[in-house]
């Protein structure tokens, strides 16, 4: 079992402009929230540019954030295949502990370029993560090879939230 102690407080990087429910509280404790956004407009040309080059730009921005605000003891990425860019950027920025956390399973698609991108990012996750966690075997194996990750199952009892175990929905 590994336990990571964080001296000070954690900072986060998110990919939305929305203000999260706990964002103000998080900042009040001393954490910083950095936002790296994708293009969300309707211009098809700019959307294509973002699909092709956006990940590289966001990776560069992440390296700058880490170098300008660190040093950081660890980086924990939990955004699916995008964790590949995240741990690669963290490696380039000199972070020694880089954790990828896979929450969802990603079935193969009929889109060659998407499958190729996923394959490359899966390689980045394997090559540049010091630890890989997955919420299930299926989630882990859909991103990296079997045996290269640790399954950390959800810590809540799902049956407590299953309405079929109650006689009526009024009991919920």
In the prediction, which pLDDT does 88 show? Answer: 93
Q: Would you give the distance in Å from CA 158 to the centre of its chain?
A: 24
Would you say residue 95 has pLDDT above 90? Answer: yes
In the prediction, which pLDDT does 8 show? Answer: 59
In the prediction, which pLDDT does 2 show? Answer: 42
Q: pLDDT (tens digit, 9 = 90+) per residue, 16-70?
A: 888 888 888 888 888 888 888 888 899 999 988 887 788 888 889 999 999 999 8
Dihedral angle computed from the Cα positions of residues 91, 124, 57 and 73, in that order, rounded to the nearest 10 degrees: -30
* Cβ–Cβ under 8 Å, residues 86 and 118: no
Burial of 2-12, coded b for 16+ CB within 10 Å and e otherwise, reads eeeeeeeeebe
* Cβ–Cβ under 8 Å, residues 81 and 117: yes
Instruction: Say what the pTM is.
Output: 0.75
CA 121/CA 118 separation, integer angstroms:
5
Would you say residue 10 has pLDDT above 60? Answer: yes
Q: What DSSP designation does 151 have?
A: E
Q: pLDDT (tens digit, 9 = 90+) per residue, 128-169?
A: 999 988 888 888 888 887 778 888 877 666 666 666 655 554
pLDDT-derived band of residue 119, with 50, 70 and 90 as boundaries?
A: confident
Q: Would you give the distance in Å from CA 91 to the centre of its chain?
A: 15
In the prediction, which pLDDT does 155 show? Answer: 67
In the prediction, which pLDDT does 164 show? Answer: 62
């Amino acid at each position: 079992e590994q336990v990571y102690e964080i001296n000070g407080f954690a900072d986060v990087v998110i990919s939305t402009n929305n203000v999260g429910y706990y964002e103000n509280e998080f900042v009040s404790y001393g954490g910083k929230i950095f936002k790296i956004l994708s293009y969300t407009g309707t211009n098809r040309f700019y959307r294509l540019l973002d699909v092709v080059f956006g990940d590289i730009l966001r990776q560069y921005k992440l390296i700058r954030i880490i170098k300008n605000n660190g040093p950081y003891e660890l980086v924990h990425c939990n955004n699916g295949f995008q964790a590949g860019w995240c741990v690669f950027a963290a490696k380039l920025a000199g972070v020694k502990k880089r954790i990828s956390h896979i929450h969802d399973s990603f079935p193969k698609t009929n889109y060659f370029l998407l499958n190729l991108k996923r394959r490359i990012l899966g390689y980045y996750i394997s090559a540049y993560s010091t630890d890989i966690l997955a919420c299930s075997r299926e989630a882990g194996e859909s991103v990296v090879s079997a045996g290269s990750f640790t399954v950390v199952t959800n810590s809540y009892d799902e049956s407590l939230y299953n309405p079929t175990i109650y006689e009526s929905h009024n009991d919920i």
